[in-house]
Structure 1
Amino acid sequence: MVNLKLYLLKKELQILIVSIFFVLFVFFARYVIESIPCLQYALILFIVYILVSFLRFVKVVSCIMIFIYGFILFLCSRVFLSIFDSSILFESDKYVFYTFADTTVLEVLLILSVSFVSVIIGYLSSYAKSDFKAKDYTQFTSQASSYVYTDKQLQKILYYLILLSAPGVLYKGMHDLMLIKQYGYLIMFMEMPPAPFFARASWGFFNIVFPMLLMFVPSRKQFKYYCVLFFLVSSVSFLQGSRSTLLAPIVYFIWFYYSFYSTKKISVKNIACFILFVAFVAQGILFLRDKDASFNLSISQMLFALFYSQGATYVLLGNYLDYSSDFANSTRYSILFSLCTTFLWFFNPLYRKGQSEELVQHTLSLDDQLMYAVNPELYLSGVGYGSSYIAELYQLGGVLALIIGSYLIGRIIKWYERNYNKSYTYVYFSWFIIPHLIWTSRGSYFPSPFLIMIGVLFYVTLRAVVVTWNKRKLKDAFF
């Protein structure tokens, strides 16, 4: 144990020293010599170094690695592809077509480098003594042993509630799929005819209740059964063309399995197979969504298409730098939008009418502001650009806000890795946190709290009802 502790401390110190030199070099390359190749290859080498170093003492599917995978895929895949063709760094080819200026590319590479190294430093600087001890994966269940009877009752109730909601979820999936077949994928982002209330309520209920089954950390056999149940109930929704709808739960279930049931290391061969599987599935879903997409591709072409298309968030950053001065609502607080978007939809009719010129004048959404700035016609037709936590932080306070915000991400990830198995609440939150970690690079800094709040309120109420019922039965038994 002492040797392990010394090894980790040495490795951590080594990475921190390399990170400091990397930061100094990045600012030198950006502001002194203004060299795009220096920034480009420095970022690539640093990412590779972090991957190799972390995989020696961090799980392949740990929270920090999931974040890093998302960062590489959505923000840096075009940087890696530029090794073969440097012009990729200069292409704005998403919704507005032009060539980035050198200053734009330099700034994008700078903020990518600064954000990534800040997350790494934040993660490494939050080590505690408990990090050098072997994790006890039975700790969570043993602490809850006094509530076993109540927990079993709750699991049974939740299971039957999920079965009751399944027909409505399937109906909503069929309803949305028929609309997509008729009007195209963009109908999902416009004011489309809603599914019946029972179907919409079932869908929301299913997404709130299902993770509650997992927060009790069921047996390995039960877990596998619940995974199959989830994919069966959600099967129609996967056919609608949204890659995140399918890939997010896959990533989550893999993380859950290796966090609670298995201590085995994942081999490089399995990782390679998973990447190929993701590429195949992503291209297949794209084919379902876009009839012009080609499915007759070689493996290398499929991988290139995957990384090139998913790396469009790099283009978003370049477009943001070039068009932020043209935003209809020049705010610095787009980072707050994800915290209030659902509540605005309920309480402000403007947010239920779809994308409009009136909406873009009032909304904090970086997605709306950027899309309207680069292509108003596409925006008004319902097209969205997405967002990135990097753009939100940069908008909030430039490089300084980017450093602080990214550093906090690293510290929060480390805190959650240390505590995720210590309470039912933390396990429940993992359903929302793990997908957010991989999608935050192309999404908002904060996850939407609405479903989390509704879920916690529902669980607290249900548990209170069950506990009260048990107390009443116990009282009747004695008297």
Structure 2
Amino acid sequence: MPIYYTLMPLMFFGSLLLGNIAGSTINFTPIIMAFLFFYFITLIKAIYIFGIFSLYPIYLYTSFFFVYTRLYFHVIGYRSFLDSNTVVGRHIFNNSVGIIFICIIFLSHYIIDIFYTCSFRKINIKNELIYLPKIESCGLFLMILFSPAIIYKLYLQFLYVSENGYVSMYLYGFKNISYPFWTKGSGTFFLLGYLLILFSYPAKKIFIFASIIYFIYALTGSLKGSRGTLLVPLVAIIFFYYKLYHSKISFKMIMVVLIFFVLFSIGLGKYRGSYGKNKINASIQYGMINSFFYGQGSTIDVPLGLISESKRIEKYRHFPFIFSALLKPIFFQLYPDNGSERLMITLEKYNNMPAIVTYILSPKIYLTGQGLGGSVIAEMYDCGKFVGIIAWSLILGFIIKIVDKILVLRNRYIPFCWFLVNSVIGMPRDYFFSFSNAIPYMIIIFVIINLVNIIFSSKQKLLN
């Protein structure tokens, strides 16, 4: 291992010299190939040591899917990763921006891998999962009871989006929808039911049944146009199945899931552009597999835009972007969303990095409700440049490690793991603290878990 962690930086820095970074013309191909070589060696090593569906390899998968696909397409000559043509229009970023970007993603993965790999082997935690059949039954009852209501609620949202256009979600939200009274709170109780099932360490058949119901829920929600609404929970379900039951997942099953998601996403990408009157004229057409994977890499525009336009961004940046997700509930209270001024309030008050970067790159596109997503690597870099990359990569490695090795082996922690796992899976194109949106659910489940413990403890004392 020490030789590996010495050779990889030397090889990467050697590629920088080979790419002539000090010259007027930079050859990015050897630099990108060196990074991708490091990435794939790291991925293979992680799969071999920790397992194909441990959380660390999953983070590496989604990093490539959401960000590094652009680097791959650069190497094969499909399009330069600095020549971006996405929802915000065409932008050609400077070579210096590209060098900084590749250096920070190398540094981040290098730090995470050292911390995770070297500290992982020192942890030997006993599996303390206990089957709780009564909690399992309670959770299943809640899911079955509220699944029709929440799916109908999502169906109404789908009808609204299909009539008013995909961007209507971001322009107006769903405040104009009139929901039947019997759908109120259905989403909260449905999710609570699934979390209770996870907490109970359910029988494998019950887990599969409940996860199928949850998959139908996620699939219905994704019809509004968001592929991540389906992908992230689907991968999270596979992770928990792999971790809780130590079950091997066949290569055939992996390919079936992958092909389904790709075909579904291509179809959804084409179909959502025809929703309502606000049709989206995307620069990338999703009729080909290559175009689909290239389009998924649009997340790269966020760090490239942040690095390139840092001076212009300062006008709207009130504090490091990485903390914005934590403070979102406070922003909502201080600056309520009144509908008509939603976009400008988000831009000027919420310290929202994707909104600011989108607006700087294309004000016209931003004001139509379209825009870029989040980017954890951009947040890390924004909070301290290279020092921020090192510090936040260490923290991320720690989070992945405790979830992967400790929390999934305790009943009381598994519901919280659900949110952390979903957060880590989507983190390459989301926020570092994206799980903060789930804090109310965490509080509710924490209270319920403690009540359950009190009840069971009382019954045990009476029996004794």
- What does residue 116 of structure 1 align with? 109
Q: Which residue identity is paired with 1:236? A: T
Distance 1:293 1:358 in 2: 23
Residues 121, 407 of structure 1: 8 Å contact kept: no
SS class of match (1:410) = helix
Residues 92, 315 of structure 1: 8 Å contact kept: yes
Residues 90, 99 of structure 1: 8 Å contact kept: yes
Residues 222, 228 of structure 2: 8 Å contact kept: no
- What does residue 334 of structure 1 align with? 321
Residues 65, 293 of structure 2: 8 Å contact kept: yes
Distance 1:332 1:35 in 2: 35
Shift of 1:442: 0.8
Q: Which residue identity is paired with 1:277? A: F
| Equivalent runs, 1:366-405 vs 2, <5 Å | 366-405=353-392
Identity value in percent: 20
- What does residue 16 of structure 1 align with? 5
Q: Which residue identity is paired with 2:272? A: R
Structure 2 gaps of 5+ residues are: none
Structure 1 gaps of 5+ residues are: 1-11
Structure whose residues are more often helix by fraction: 1
- What does residue 309 of structure 2 align with? 323
Shift of 1:401: 0.6
- What does residue 230 of structure 2 align with? 246
Shift of 1:469: 8.9
Deviates more, 1:119-128 or 1:347-356: 347-356
1:227 paired to 2:227? no
Deviates more, 1:372-381 or 1:457-466: 457-466
Distance 2:365 2:163 in 1: 19
Distance 1:466 1:57 in 2: 36
Residues 222, 229 of structure 2: 8 Å contact kept: yes
Distance 2:389 2:457 in 1: 51
Distance 1:194 1:373 in 2: 32
Q: Which residue identity is paired with 1:169? A: I
1:286 paired to 2:273? no
Q: Deviations over 1:431-459 (max 9, x none)?
A: 11222222111111112324244333344
Distance 2:146 2:401 in 1: 36
Aligned to 1:170, which of 148, 151, 155? 151
Residues 276, 303 of structure 1: 8 Å contact kept: no
Structure 1 pair 35/169, CA: closer, same or farther in 2 (3 Å)? same
Q: Deviations over 1:206-259 (max 9, x none)?
A: 234422211222111111111222234455323222111111121111111111
Structure 1 pair 402/161, CA: closer, same or farther in 2 (3 Å)? same
Distance 1:14 1:208 in 2: 48
Q: Which residue identity is paired with 1:419? A: I
Distance 2:118 2:459 in 1: 50
Residues 154, 463 of structure 1: 8 Å contact kept: no
Using the size of structure 1 for normalisation, the TM-score is 0.84
Distance 2:77 2:157 in 1: 40
- What does residue 68 of structure 1 align with? 60
Q: Deviations over 1:97-122 (max 9, x none)?
A: 13222222222222222222222122
Distance 1:120 1:470 in 2: 42
Aligned to 1:357, which of 331, 341, 344? 344
Structure 1 pair 232/314, CA: closer, same or farther in 2 (3 Å)? closer
Q: Which residue identity is paired with 2:44? A: V
| Equivalent runs, 1:307-322 vs 2, <5 Å | 307-322=293-308
| Equivalent runs, 1:338-349 vs 2, <5 Å | 338-345=325-332, 347-349=333-335
Deviates more, 1:248-257 or 1:455-464: 455-464
- What does residue 170 of structure 2 align with? 189
Q: Which residue identity is paired with 2:153? A: K
Deviates more, 1:358-367 or 1:230-239: 230-239
Structure 1 pair 52/466, CA: closer, same or farther in 2 (3 Å)? closer
Distance 2:219 2:317 in 1: 41
1:207 paired to 2:207? no
Shift of 1:185: 0.9
SS class of match (1:464) = helix
Shift of 1:419: 0.3
Residues 214, 428 of structure 1: 8 Å contact kept: yes
Q: Which residue identity is paired with 1:287? A: K
Aligned to 1:54, which of 46, 58, 61? 46
Distance 1:105 1:211 in 2: 42
Shift of 1:388: 0.6
Using the size of structure 2 for normalisation, the TM-score is 0.86
Structure 1 pair 208/103, CA: closer, same or farther in 2 (3 Å)? same
Residues 208, 455 of structure 1: 8 Å contact kept: no
Structure 1 pair 412/235, CA: closer, same or farther in 2 (3 Å)? closer
- What does residue 9 of structure 1 align with? none
Deviates more, 1:159-168 or 1:352-361: 352-361
Shift of 1:407: 2.6
| Equivalent runs, 1:381-460 vs 2, <5 Å | 381-460=368-447
Aligned to 1:101, which of 70, 94, 97? 94
Shift of 1:183: 0.7
1:160 paired to 2:141? yes
Size of the aligned set, in residue pairs, is: 447
Q: Which residue identity is paired with 1:395? A: D
Distance 1:331 1:23 in 2: 35
Q: Deviations over 1:180-219 (max 9, x none)?
A: 1111111111224144365352123323442221122211
Structure 1 pair 437/472, CA: closer, same or farther in 2 (3 Å)? closer
Distance 2:432 2:460 in 1: 47
Structure 1 pair 303/217, CA: closer, same or farther in 2 (3 Å)? farther
Shift of 1:177: 0.8
Residues 74, 312 of structure 1: 8 Å contact kept: yes
Q: Deviations over 1:359-401 (max 9, x none)?
A: 4222211012112212223222322311111111111111111
Q: Deviations over 1:138-161 (max 9, x none)?
A: x323xx4xxx6xx43333223222
Distance 2:44 2:198 in 1: 32
